[in-house]
Structure 1
């Protein structure tokens, strides 16, 4: 039961929002922008291509050839700026299935990833990448089937549009919900649907409630949520583990430590996302086997 085909793990390579912020005050949580890797039943799924994708790429160089399924929430810069530095994409023999929705202006994800690599923005074009890159336009609400894995998506409340994802496998589920702004008149039904009974919910909690509604520097309309709203969603959706994600670049390690303490008081099984964090999501069959083993030992 311990083989990779029976595991569902989540690894965080970039957890910061808006802009990368390396430095002495962000060492413990990391300064790279969003990139989350899920290893599900032997398959590799990658969510978003922020600067954390570069770090993931370096780790994959010892595991080639590599095949992975990539899912982008949207193409704001902090979610795609690592793609031009994703070394495995330049190496022949690797294969990447890249999914993303068509933007409101009609551009595909392939066009947008290519545009950021056009001169004078970048020295080499996307077309020089030697790996087999397969692009898929992903309609909102359309499921993607990868063997036993089902990836669902739903539209989020974010300027220029974004989608959140839910990964289902053998009765387990992990929801990746960033970038989204909570509603003023109740919980977002689309977010609740993605998070329903999830084993793990990764949620955009860029701000605190105080920051979000501050009279001096209101963040209303910026497309992000708060940790207090994350707790509300987790409770309402019957989530098992809540992961606070997409940290504001102005929030240093000490600030995030304090935030983590506050979140845990409201939702005990909550954790602050940090680079290098790994979470194992065991399928029910594995959970039952572990429970039975522990019961035998205690007896």
Structure 2
């Protein structure tokens, strides 16, 4: 196994959208809401703090002290509800840098986390967390230089209340994390296209099928999410190397997602559906020519 400084590993800790849905019919793909960890160039980057963040936190307890950067797409509950249960944030000696855009009503990411943990929503306040929490207000469209080799691009997504998409770049490798976003009928979203262009991996919101989205009885137009068919269109136009379908609807059980995975793969062969507890690993060509590329594997502790 290569050094953590010489690889790009993507771990999926939560892949559902809207609401956690644990149960016997969601075991294979998982029921936790969004949380994706990227270990890249010696940095630990975490995207979104849904209930999957609690699982990630438990795995980090054996590795303390921890320093990590957490990037929030937005503050709808399914993307922040795991943060109050993120155990490492309660432990002195750990340090977390938290990033998020100011909401249209002017609330900062710090204010929104504070509000989530106020009575009557939660029994203890944000201030009880003893780790060093540093909050940063993102300007959508800026590029963040994490270190000499790692940079993160940002772009606005089409979602009620706004959301931020991210693209992580490192030594010629790029992974785009694009959720929550709704496609524009008849045309590609230029912001998503910018983030996705020639990415090695595109992780993208595709909560619905076209049939669900345009349903005559219960359409999903305007709900802020896209379809797998639109995700395939974007992946082809952007010439991405691997497509990862993400933010699964809570009504889609394992058998449904198995069938959907086959349809997606037929339309875009190098594609997978995100699964909780799985990972992708990428290697720079200049660092390990024989192993360059990516492979799916179980997340290791």
TM-score normalized by the length of structure 2: 0.95
Q: Secondary structure at the match of 1:122?
A: coil
Q: How does 1:1-299 map to 2 (within 5 A)?
A: 2-147=2-147, 148-286=149-287, 288-290=289-291
Cα pair 2:65 2:93 within 8 Å, conserved: yes
Q: Distance in 1 between matches of 2:101 and 2:162?
A: 9
Q: Deviations over 1:17-53 (max 9, x none)?
A: 0000000000000000000000001110000000000
Paired residues of 1:172 and 1:284 also in contact (CA < 8 A):
no
For the 8 Å contact 2:283–2:291, the answer to whether it is kept is no
CA distance in 1, matches of 2:186, 2:207: 20
Could you tell me how far apart the structure 2 residues matched to 1:116 and 1:226 are?
30
Question: 1:162-208 CA distances to partner (integer Å, 9 max, x unpaired)?
Answer: 01000000000000000000001301111010001000000000000
Shift of 1:284: 2.2
When normalised by structure 1's length, the TM-score is 0.96
Per-residue deviation, 1:289: 4.0
* Separation (CA, whole Å) in 2 of partners of 1:277 and 1:243: 12
Write the distance in 2 (CA, Å) between the matches of 1:275 and 1:110.
28
Gap change, CA 1:253 and 1:66, over 3 Å in 2: same
The match for 1:295 is: none
Deviations 1:275-299 (A, max 9, x none): 01100121121452447xxxxxxxx
2:72 and 2:100 in contact (8 A); partners too: yes
User: Within 1, Cα distance between the matches of 2:283 and 2:228?
Assistant: 26
Runs of 4+ in 1 over 6 A off after TM superposition: none
Structure 2: 5+ residue runs without aligned partners?
293-301
Name the CA distance, whole Å, in 2 between partners of 1:258 and 1:286. Answer: 37
Aligned counterparts of 1:251 and 1:243: Cα–Cα separation in 2 = 16
Q: Secondary structure at the residue paired with 1:93?
A: coil
C-alpha separation between the residues in 1 aligned to 2:21 and 2:144? 33
Distance in 2 separating the partners of 1:173 and 1:183? 24
User: Does the 8 A contact of 2:182 with 2:224 survive in 1?
Assistant: yes
CA distance, structure 1, for counterparts of residue 211 and residue 47 of structure 2:
29
Which secondary structure does the structure 2 equivalent of 1:58 belong to?
Answer: helix
Instruction: Name the SS for the 2:117 alignment partner.
Output: coil
> How many pairs does the alignment contain?
291
Query: 1:166, 1:290 → 2: CA distance?
Result: 23
